[in-house]
Structure 1
Amino acid sequence: MKTIGFIGIGNLGLPIATNLLKAGHHLKVYNRTRDKALPLEALGAEIVDSPLAAIEKGGIVFTLVSDDAALKEIANDAFVAALGQGGVHASLSTISPETANTLADHHKHHGVTYVGAPVFARPEAAAAKVGNAVISGHTYGKERIRHLLTDGFAKNIFDLGEKAGSANVLKLIGNFMIAASMEMMAESFVLAEKNGLDVKVVYEMLTTTMFSGPIFRNYGGMILNREFSSEAAFKASLGLKDIDLVLEVARTSYTPMPMANLVHQRLLTVLSKGRRDDDWVALATGAINDAGLK
């Protein structure tokens, strides 16, 4: 069994890498903050000191980093040369589709296949392997990683074709819809509270009937209980980064998105108050504060 490279052990990287190790895969793991990767050592992972040390010639490497700049810094000429002919780089990160397409072209020149495979899952869903993967890129690379996505986090895999950036477009659409849903729930719960309703009953009625999906149930519960500043599974700063990317794609494709502008302002307000490390559900504080509630 070949060793898989895994670069980036954060809130999502840790459960995914853990699942891969438990499924019997051999991993070489790199994380900028080495201590965060150490729990994987007990499961058999080899912790290495550089991204290049995580790579085996002709093998597979996963990257899961915070933004475009971090990924570009890692996926340089030395990186693709180390992977070499037949190698596969699967990016699990939420990045710009333009960056994904540029990286795919760059990799192709070195005989390496780039696959976009951004993760749809919060950490607890990834750990339970009930997340979703969207993939795009050359068929060769997608087929080589498909079973690893299932072993790592994905209950479902959706193929967006061969254009590398397509999966990232869908990932940004999904994150926008989550943010818009949080805004909708915040405004709705505020309206209920201002009119004397028991908001818990409102939440239970709506999230067990018409809006019974996990986004409404989970984020709705966090809004109901004002769980904004607990340990963040997904930070407000990253949420703002993603909505910035949504608006960038919207601008370049001449797509008006007024709701995206609204949630962007909500997240910008959260960061302006020094709350960048709060969970991004804190965007709901905008509607709450506008209505004079706490």
Structure 2
Amino acid sequence: MGFFMARNLAKNRPQSVTPLPPTLVWNRTKSRAEDLVKEVGDDKAQIAKDPEEVARECDIIFTNLANDDVVKEIYLRFAQALEVGTTIVYIQESLCHMRDPQDSPSLKPKIFVETSTVYPTLAGELDTLIAAHNARLVMAPVFGAPPAADAAQLLVVMAGDYRSKKEVANILIPAVGRKVIDLGGNLEKAPTFKLIGNSLILGSLEILAESFTLGEKSGISAELVQTLVKDLMPTPILVNYGEKMVHDLFDGSKGFAIDGGIKDATHIRRLTTELNSPMPALDTAHQHLLTARALHAAARDRGEQVFETLDWSSLVAGTRVAAGLDGFDSGKVCVPRHVSYASA
């Protein structure tokens, strides 16, 4: 996801009278950043040596990271880099007094844009980390699978300072996304909204998985049930994830990896607990995700795993196993000889 977003930002930068410098990119796996620069050219993107360089050199910093712990780790590094930068600027201004410090480009407020899916209360922690360093935070999680990110069709949710949101929106639309939903100034609202959205997706996956499994158990193929999905509920999410389940296309490198799905489900369940708002479908989906991951780990131990990592649509393995079927191989479905119905 982050790769496509960064690539599209680099390729479709806002128009400016003064030519903009290349987009500065950083990834834990350096080869990914190298691939991006190779694709767009070094006139549009350059590789930062570390997150600290990004924080010091850039006016607007976008982050898209795996989980809450990684997000907080990176923002701690940002804050430490800004602390050093602030000290240097103070010393320089004290020595020269050649211009009003407020006119110094180095004192222009930076904007940090967090696009990951995180627990809402983390927003306040991140804001506290950077607010002391003349920086503003915009929480801007995105909806859309990697293909949507590739096509710059993401749905962006924003919360934070109004002027900062406007500036960020002008950069992201249409370079990265198709639409912005503004949740106001409360930073926690955007990640909360993202979790609500993911609960809709994950709950739908659970219903799909259960329906396909019921079809297989009753002697009606999952392929036939999928045709019903296409006719009755032809939404891209249901159709696309239905295809993955029906054809055992559980490659997490081409979709949403199961660890991310479990993280999101855990966040949603925590939120429902705190707000006394039960979501039993999410409880079940969470258990089926754990079952799928456990089955995959056991297959890896035997050297029999098909994919390096699973897509979260593999939760269908949980419903299949619960029904006595093979978790990852729909070809092993045992079709009953007959189905009888009794009526009073």
TM-score, with length taken from structure 1: 0.89
Q: Decide whether the 8 Å contact of 1:228 with 1:282 is kept in 2.
A: yes
After TM superposition, the structure 1 stretch with the greater mean CA deviation from structure 2, 240-249 or 190-199, is 190-199
Structure 1 residue 179 displacement after superposition: 1.3
1:95 Cα deviation from its structure 2 partner: 0.7
Which of residues 25, 28, 42 is equivalent to 1:29?
Answer: 25
In the alignment, what sits opposite 1:221? 243
Which residue is equivalent to 2:80? 78
Q: What are the Cα deviations for residues 146-188 of structure 1, in whole angstroms up to 9, with x where unaligned?
A: 0222244211110111111111111111112211111101111
- After superposing the two structures, state which structure 1 stretch, 53-62 or 95-104, moved more: 53-62
Q: Is the 8 A contact 2:56 2:81 kept in 1?
A: no
Amino acid at match of 1:174: G
The CA deviation string for residues 19-67 of structure 1, in whole angstroms up to 9 with x for no partner, is 1122146310111111111012222311011101123567100011111
Q: CA deviation at 1:84?
A: 5.7
Q: Distance in 1 between matches of 2:50 and 2:262?
A: 29
Aligned to 2:253, the other structure's residue is in SS state: coil
Question: 2:34 is matched with which residue: 27, 32, 38?
Answer: 38
CA distance in 2, matches of 1:79, 1:170: 31
- Corresponding letter in the other structure for 2:325: L
Q: CA deviation at 1:230?
A: 6.0
Give structure 1 stretches of 5+ with no counterpart.
Answer: 1-11
Tell me which residue corresponds to 2:158: 135
In the alignment, which of 245, 254, 260 is matched to residue 282 of structure 2?
A: 260
Distance 1:230 1:164, change over 3 A: closer
Matched pairs, number = 282
Give the alignment of 1:1-294 within 5 angstroms.
Answer: 12-24=1-13, 26-42=22-38, 43=40, 44=42, 45-56=45-56, 59-76=59-76, 77-81=79-83, 82=85, 85-209=108-232, 211-229=233-251, 231-275=253-297, 277-294=309-326
Describe the SS at the equivalent of 1:226: coil
CA RMSD of aligned residues (A): 2.0
Percent identity of paired positions between Structure 1 and Structure 2: 30
Structure 1 counterpart of 2:80, which letter?
A: A
How far did 1:206 drift?
A: 2.0
In structure 2, the CA distance between the partners of 1:90 and 1:230, relative to structure 1 (3 Å rule), is closer
In 2, Cα distance between the equivalents of 1:133 and 1:250?
23
8 Å Cα contact 1:85-1:110 kept in structure 2: no
Q: Structure 1's 207 and 109: CA in aligned 2 closer, same or farther, altered over 3 A?
A: same
Query: Hey, what's the Cα distance between the residues in 1 that align with 2:286 and 2:107?
Result: 40
Native 8 Å contact 2:111 2:136 kept in 1: yes
Write the letter of the residue equivalent to 1:270. Answer: A
If the length of structure 2 is used for normalisation, what is the TM-score?
0.77
**AA paired with 1:156?**
K
Q: Relative to structure 1, is the Cα distance of residues 123 and 162 closer, same or farther in structure 2, using a 3 angstrom cutoff? A: same
The answer to whether the 8 A contact 2:252-2:309 is kept is: no
Change in CA separation of 1:217 and 1:231 when aligned onto 2, cut-off 3 Å: same
Alignment check: 8 A CA contact 1:116 1:164 kept: yes
Q: Could you say which structure has the larger radius of gyration?
A: 2
- Quote the Cα distance in structure 1 between the aligned partners of 2:126 and 2:6: 23
Counterpart CA distance in 1 for 2:130 and 2:288 is 37
CA contact (8 A) 2:13 2:175 kept: no
> Contact (CA 8 Å) 2:161, 2:185: kept in 1 or not?
yes
Contact 1:58 1:85 in 2 (8 A): no
1:234 and 1:279 in contact (8 A); partners too = yes
1:197 Cα offset (Å): 2.3
Q: Is the 8 A contact 2:26 2:51 kept in 1?
A: yes
Q: Which amino acid aligns with 1:131?
A: L
Q: Which range moves more in the overlay, 228-237 or 240-249?
A: 228-237
SS in 2 for 1:234: coil
| Greater alpha carbon shift after TM alignment, 91-100 vs 22-31 | 22-31
CA contact (8 A) 2:138 2:161 kept: yes
